[in-house]
């Protein structure tokens, strides 16, 4: 399911992340059932989520597109909710993975309440910093990978994180229930500090390939 928070504002800002992701999933994984729910108001949101729950026993992957900070998400044009409240909205859908295309949503303060409020949830993906339209492209690839039925291994995740950081300067972090709860800003700093090292490594790899 793709939850588009306050879609009118996203459209006004020329953000087409949700629509693009929907088209990509339908194109590359036609067997996947895609539900796109626009949170224009709490009443319509409730109806949209109820339809999803009726249509399938669970939504394995939920992608949330919107504006947020470490404590709140702008759910509709008139409603800002805490991450605890969002968990109560999503819990009936029994998701196992949530992908947050929302600013600062990868910090533990955001992921923690989701794990606490959704017993079936195993992983939360997000960024601890502002997410740009360009950086959101990496999330499209992530969603396709998750929907393919494969689990993202630690080694593969680190490679994807490195490539994403070098190309878009985006930071994508995975949180799990077994997470040591290390503050995400430490991980973000590590990526920033390691940027030159990563560039040098790729440079050596390119030189090796050319020779």
CATH number of the structural domain spanning residue 160: 3.40.50
pLDDT above 90 covers a percentage of the chain that reads 24
Mean pLDDT along residues 48-69: 88
Which comes out higher in pLDDT, residue 137 or 116?
116
Q: How far is CA 134 from CA 30, 167, 168, in A?
A: 24, 10, 7
**What pLDDT band is residue 209 in, cutting at 50, 70 and 90?**
low
Question: Quick check: 6 and 76 in contact, CB under 8 A?
Answer: yes
The whole-number pLDDT of residue 11 equals 74
pLDDT in tens, 146-196: 888 777 676 666 766 666 666 666 677 788 887 745 555 555 555 455 545
Q: Which domain holds residue 34?
A: 2-210
Query: Phi and psi (nearest 5°) for 184?
Result: -65, -25
The whole-number pLDDT of residue 111 equals 82
pLDDT over threshold 60, residue 198: no
**What pLDDT band is residue 7 in, cutting at 50, 70 and 90?**
confident
Q: How many domains does the chain divide into?
A: 1
CA–CA gap between residue 105 and residue 171 (Å, rounded): 11
The whole-number pLDDT of residue 191 equals 47
pLDDT in tens, 88-105: 999 999 999 999 887 656
Q: Please, what is the average pLDDT of the chain?
A: 78
How remote is the C-alpha of 96 from its chain's centroid? Answer: 13
pLDDT over threshold 90, residue 199: no
In this prediction the pTM is 0.76
pLDDT over threshold 60, residue 84: yes
Vertex 91: Cα angle to 85 and 97 (nearest 5): 105
């Amino acid at each position: 399911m793709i939850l588009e928070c306050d879609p009118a504002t996203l459209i006004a800002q020329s953000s087409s992340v949700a629509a693009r992701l929907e088209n990509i999933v339908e194109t590359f994984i036609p067997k996947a059932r895609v539900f796109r729910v626009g949170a224009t108001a709490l009443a319509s949101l409730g109806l949209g989520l109820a339809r999803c729950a009726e249509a399938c026993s669970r939504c394995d992957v939920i992608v949330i597109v919107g504006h947020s900070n470490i404590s709140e998400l702008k759910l509709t044009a008139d409603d800002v909710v805490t991450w605890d409240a969002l968990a109560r909205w999503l819990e009936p859908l029994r998701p196992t993975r949530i992908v947050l295309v929302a600013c600062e949503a990868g910090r533990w303060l955001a992921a923690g309440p989701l794990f606490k409020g959704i017993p079936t949830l195993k992983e939360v993906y997000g960024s601890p910093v502002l997410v740009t339209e360009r950086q959101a492209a990496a999330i499209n690839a992530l969603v396709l990978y998750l929907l393919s039925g494969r689990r993202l291994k630690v080694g593969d995740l680190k490679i994807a994180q490195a490539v994403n950081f070098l190309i878009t300067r985006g930071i994508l972090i995975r949180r799990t229930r077994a997470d040591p709860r290390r503050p995400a800003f430490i991980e973000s700093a590590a990526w920033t500090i390691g940027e030159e090292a990563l560039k040098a490594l790729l440079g050596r790899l390119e030189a090796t390939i050319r020779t």
